[in-house]
Amino acid sequence: MFARVFSGGLLGVDAYRIEVEVDAHGGIGQILLVGLPDAAVKESQERVRSAIKACSLLMPSAKKWVVNLAPADTRKEGPALDLPIAVGILATGGYLPVDHLPNFWLIGELGLDGSLRPVSGVLPIAMACRASGADNMIVPEANAEEAGLVEKLKVYPVSHLKQVLTILTEPASAAPLASNAVYNFRRTQQNQNFDFDFQDVKGQEQAKRALEISAAGRHNILMVGPPGSGKSMLAQRLATIMPPLDFSESLELTKLYSVAGLLPDRSTIIAKRPFRNPHHSASAVGLVGGGAQPKPGEISLSHLGILFLDELTEFPRSHIDCLRQPLESGNVTISRAQQTLTFPASFLLIGACNPCPCGHRGDPAQYCSCTPHQADRYWSKLSGPFLDRVDLHVEVGRLREGELSCTTRGESSEIMKLRVMRAIERQKGRCPEGQFVYNGQLSHRQLIKYCKIDDGCRALLARAVSQLGLSARAYDRVLRIARTVADLSESDQIESGHLAEAIRYRAMFRQASQKI
């Protein structure tokens, strides 16, 4: 007897349909798996045997089951195919009808007692299920809310193999999960809050202004200053002034974290922009992604959010240079001998470092013990091409005694966020519907269209190119920053004051580096 059961597998952050074909014929009770299964899939035959036995069902001893996992040229990984393999074997044994099988996708790991355990990557598989035209999906109970995020898909949560047999025998008797994805998303967003605020930061008005520009236009930023000047404190608070995620962005993030196996409780939609802060001892694979079974790295896990690299100059130069391509393209491509995967990586980079190894170069209050050679070697970790891709270079100086003892609180994140949101609305108003991009991500054609300047501004920018030695890429980035500054000022035209402020963020780093 022959049976076909549908399931799904993962390729990067996307999913594809797997057809589990089971054929039973004479033999010695053997289960033969073909179709490029990995070790975890091959071991499923023992889990399947015990799970079927736990349901008080007998597998005929004079049968051999050949299980083909199609497409046969794609490697299958993980224990998620346990359930469809078990159902296929039971269908060939006559324990359940095959009429309803084409209408369902099944996924789940089986325990030896027949229980269903949760698996990773359910959301992208549920999306692929709906895109293929299937209306029903059976998933482990712990994955039900995650699969329920896909609209117009009937999700049946189960905790034991016996429940699966009941659903496939009489689908009308089972009730699918009642879920409202949009309502759950909005409720989660309303309940989120931050434990910190920009008004907690004393002084550093210039750095706060730069971070506001960064949030409004998605401009990467590098902060340089002595220890204890507040760089990490400022970076943590950037998330409080960024716009909230919309539902489509939230789904994209949830899918990514589901594939990585990092979804909280496997039932929560990601409603807050991620803030990732990897240690400088992280490996290149941990930062960029990859491995024997390629998984997203820190730059992908910070997609649509913030990647904060504290002590940036302590990272190996090779690791830092790995960020150059993702900073331009917004994704990272991992090539292996058998496959090439692309993970999204559209993140806002915040770098923070000291001006020298001891941290006190140019500090009027502390003596620097570093030699010029040590300082040069310290800064050599940051290549010119990498720095060219960082829009805002900000010097975060030591706080004066009056600023430290001041009890007056600064501007709150709420007020700063209102200005950021107004600037973003102006950007959306310029772009055609469905083609919105932030100022920091404008293409060259969009730059010419939206960042027009008059002759006076053009002359100012020409002087900056001559004096600061700006590259063509830096020239474009200055224009993008000026466009964001103009949006924050609610100005339709880029004026000389806006351009001068944008140029200052390139000149600051040059002045700071000259102190070394």
Model pLDDT for residues 311-363, shown as the tens digit of each residue: 999 999 999 999 999 999 899 988 876 778 889 999 999 999 998 888 888 77
Of the ranges 432-436, 498-502, 504-508, which is most confident?
498-502
Six-digit token pair at 244? 């909230």
Of 89, 26, 21, which is closest to residue 53 (Cα–Cα)?
Answer: 89
Q: How confident is the model at residue 51 (pLDDT cuts 50, 70, 90)?
A: very high
Six-digit token pair at 214? 């960064």
Buried b (16+ CB within 10 A) or exposed e, 368-388: bebeeebbeebbebbeeebbb
Kind and range of the H or E element at 460? helix 455-468
Beta strands in 129-280 (DSSP E): 136-140, 154-158, 221-224, 275-276
For residues 31 and 48, is the Cβ–Cβ distance under 8 A?
Answer: yes
Q: How confident is the model at residue 62 (pLDDT cuts 50, 70, 90)?
A: low
Q: How far is CA 320 from CA 324, 325, 509, 513, in A?
A: 8, 11, 18, 19
Model pLDDT for residues 153-204, shown as the tens digit of each residue: 999 999 999 999 999 998 888 888 887 777 777 777 776 778 888 988 888 8
DSSP sequence for 98-153: STTGGGEEE--EEPTTSBEE--S-HHHHHHHHHHTT--EEEEEGGGHHHHTTSTT-
In this structure, the number of other CB atoms found within 10 A of the CB of residue 142 comes to 18
Kind and range of the H or E element at 473? helix 472-488
Q: Residue 266 has what pLDDT?
A: 59
Q: Residue 341 has what pLDDT?
A: 87
Q: How far is CA 208 from CA 194, 220, 221, 369, in A?
A: 18, 14, 12, 30
Q: How confident is the model at residue 97 (pLDDT cuts 50, 70, 90)?
A: confident
Beta strands in 312-375 (DSSP E): 331-335, 340-344, 348-353
Bridge-based pairing of strands 295-296 and 289-290 is: antiparallel
C-alpha span between 343 and 89 (Å, rounded): 36
Of 196, 182, 221, which is closest to residue 307 (Cα–Cα)?
Answer: 221
pLDDT at 48 over 90: yes
Q: Which of 343-347, 419-423, 434-438 has the lowest mean pLDDT?
A: 434-438
Q: Residue 508 has what pLDDT?
A: 64
C-alpha span between 93 and 435 (Å, rounded): 54
Q: What mean pLDDT is predicted for residues 63-91?
A: 92
* Residue 293 backbone zone (phi > 0: left; psi -120 to 50: alpha; other: beta): beta
Q: What mean pLDDT is predicted for residues 213-218?
A: 94
C-alpha span between 444 and 465 (Å, rounded): 18
Kind and range of the H or E element at 191? helix 181-191
For residues 198 and 416, is the Cβ–Cβ distance under 8 A?
Answer: yes
Q: How confident is the model at residue 293 (pLDDT cuts 50, 70, 90)?
A: confident
pLDDT at 408 over 80: no
- Nearby residues of 180 by Cβ (< 8 Å), 6 or more positions away: none
Q: How confident is the model at residue 18 (pLDDT cuts 50, 70, 90)?
A: very high
Compute the mean pLDDT over every residue in the chain, rounded to the nearest whole number.
Answer: 88
C-alpha span between 32 and 305 (Å, rounded): 45
Buried b (16+ CB within 10 A) or exposed e, 31-64: bebebebeebbeebbebbbebbebbebebeeebe
Buried b (16+ CB within 10 A) or exposed e, 449-474: ebbebeeebeebbeebbeeeebeeeb
Q: Residue 516 has what pLDDT?
A: 40
Q: Residue 267 has what pLDDT?
A: 57
Q: How far is CA 441 from CA 20, 457, 473, in A?
A: 43, 22, 12
Largest distance between two CA atoms of the chain: 90
pLDDT at 510 over 60: no
Q: What mean pLDDT is predicted for residues 498-507?
A: 89
C-alpha span between 354 and 151 (Å, rounded): 49
Q: What mean pLDDT is predicted for residues 411-422?
A: 93
Model pLDDT for residues 98-147, shown as the tens digit of each residue: 888 999 999 999 999 999 999 999 999 999 999 999 999 999 999 998 89
**32: helix, strand or coil:** strand
Q: Residue 98 has what pLDDT?
A: 86
Question: How much of the chain is helix, strand and coil, in % rounded to 5?
Answer: 45, 20, 35
Q: Residue 416 has what pLDDT?
A: 94
Model pLDDT for residues 244-263, shown as the tens digit of each residue: 998 889 999 999 999 988 88
- Nearby residues of 201 by Cβ (< 8 Å), 6 or more positions away: 208, 230, 233, 234, 237, 410
Q: What mean pLDDT is predicted for residues 285-294?
A: 85
Q: Residue 514 has what pLDDT?
A: 46
Residue type, 509: F
- Nearby residues of 512 by Cβ (< 8 Å), 6 or more positions away: 224, 355, 362, 393, 395
Q: How far is CA 269 from CA 15, 185, 253, 284, in A?
A: 19, 7, 9, 28
Q: Residue 512 has what pLDDT?
A: 43
- Nearby residues of 445 by Cβ (< 8 Å), 6 or more positions away: none
Q: Cα Rg for the chain, rounded, in angstroms?
A: 28
Residue ranges and CATH numbers for the domains of the chain are 2-179 (3.30.230.10), 191-410 (3.40.50.300), 431-507 (no CATH)
For residues 241 and 416, is the Cβ–Cβ distance under 8 A?
Answer: yes
Measured in whole angstroms, how far is the alpha carbon of residue 314 from the centre of its chain?
Answer: 24
Q: What mean pLDDT is predicted for residues 384-410?
A: 83
Q: Residue 345 has what pLDDT?
A: 93
Q: Residue 106 has what pLDDT?
A: 96
